[in-house]
A = this chain, B = another copy of it.
Amino acid sequence: VKKIIVLGSGMVGSAIALDLHKRHSVTATDFNQQALDALKLRDNIATMRLDCSDHHALKKAVSGFDLAVCAVPGFLGFKTLKALIEAQIDVVDISFFPEDALELNALAIEKDVTVVVDIGVAPGLDNLILGHHNASMQVDFFECLVGGLPSARTFPYQYKAPFSPADVVEEYLRPARLYESGKIVTKPALSEPEYVEFADLGTLESFNTDGLRTLLYTMSHIPDMREKTLRYPGHRDQMLALRSAGFLSDEKIEVMGVEISPREFTSKILFDSWKLGDNEDEFTVMRVTVKGEGQTHVWDLLDRTDHQTHTSSMSRTTGYTCCAMVESVLSYKWKQAGVSPGEIVGGDAKIFADILEFLGERNICLKHHKSF
C-alpha cells in the first residue's frame, strides 16, 4: 500500500482517486469543498481542502506521500507541476496545461523525480501507442483521430462538452501544428474536414486541431504526423459559421453601451447548450494510425459511459490510463528522473503491455489491426 495524493477532484480526478483507493491509501484534494463532499459520498476517501496556487501549502501537503497525481485545471497545471518537482515528489500529470512540459525536464532530473505528463486518453494512450511502435520500427506516419461525444445527436451542435466550452472554443481557434514531409506546417483549426467511418457509430467528421503537443519535439524524425478532432457531421459547419461571422472573436464590440467580447458571450451561450445532463450517455472514440516499413497499424478505441459506477467514458479513458501509469511508477517499473510524456514511456514494451492489461480489466479495449 502506497500513499498517494490526488490534486484536483473534478470529474476525472475523482475517477482516479476512486480507482487508486481500492489498492492504496489515497488523499483527494480540491480547492472546492463541494467537490470533496461529493467524492466523500461515493467512497470513504480521505480528503483535504487545498489551494494548489499556494505553493507553500502545496509543498507542505504533499510531504510524506509516495506520489502525486496532478489533475488540476489546465491554467494551473504548469506552476503546480513545477512546485511538485521542487518538493521532490514523483508525479503523474493529466492537467494538460498549455505550456511545454519538457521545459521542466532539467529541473526534474536535477531533483531526481520521475514525472510522467499528458497521460490520459489523447494525449496519453495515442502517445503510448506511437512510442510502442517507434521503439521497434522506422515510423513515417502518425495520425490520431479522437473525440468525446454525446450518444444523442441533438440539434444544432450535436455536441456536449465534458470540459469548459471556452476550452473547446479555444481548440477551434488555435492554429493546428502538424508535420508534413518532415516539416512543421500550420493550418487553421477546423481545416481539412474528412468523413471517417466507425463500426457501431457510422460516419464522423474529422478536422485539424492543435493536439500533437510534446510529439512536435520528441518525434520530429517522423515526417508526417497529425492530430484531428472527431465530431458528428454538421458540428464543424456550425462552428465554422460562428467563427467566420465573428461570434468567436476576441475583439470587443459595443452592445447596449457595453464593450463585450463575442468569444466570452458565445462561450456563455454554448455553456448551456453544451451541458451534458446527468443521465445523458457519452462515449470516447479514438483511432490511431501508425505507418512505417510497409506496415500499417490501426488502433481503435470506443468506450461508453459506465452506468454501474456513473462514470463517463472521458473520465474512464483519461483517468484509468493515468491510474495504470501510477501503478508503473509506484512499482518502480517506470523509474526515470525527468519529465516523460507517453511516447517515451510507451517505448518500454513491458509497461505498454501492463497499461493495456490494466485498461482491459476495466473494460477499456483497444482493437489493434495490422496490415501490409
Contact = CB atoms under 8 A, between A and B. Distances in A.
A246 B272 contact: yes
A41 interface: no
Contacts of A1: none
Contact count band on A: 20 to 34
Contact of A241 (B238, B260, B261): B238
A247 B269 contact: yes
Interface in A239-271: 240-241, 244-247, 253-256, 258, 260-262, 264-265, 268-270
A157 interface: yes
A189 to B, nearest CB: 16
B269 A245 contact: yes
A247 B242 CA distance: 11
A41 to B, nearest CB: 30
Given A255-B264, A264-B256, A156 B273 contact: no
Contacts of A262: 265, 269
Given A240-B156, A265-B265, A255 B245 contact: no
A217 interface: no
A247 B270 CA distance: 9
Given A260-B256, A261-B256, A155 B268 contact: no
Contact of A253 (B237, B246, B253, B269): B269
Contacts of A237: 156
Interface in A149-179: 155-157
A118 B254 CA distance: 34
Interface in A166-206: none
Given A157-B241, A253-B268, A253-B269, 15 more contacts: A155-B241, A156-B240, A156-B245, A241-B241, A245-B269, A247-B269, A253-B265, A254-B268, A255-B265, A256-B260, A256-B261, A256-B264, A260-B265, A262-B269, A265-B265
5 contacts: A156-B240, A156-B244, A254-B268, A255-B261, A256-B260
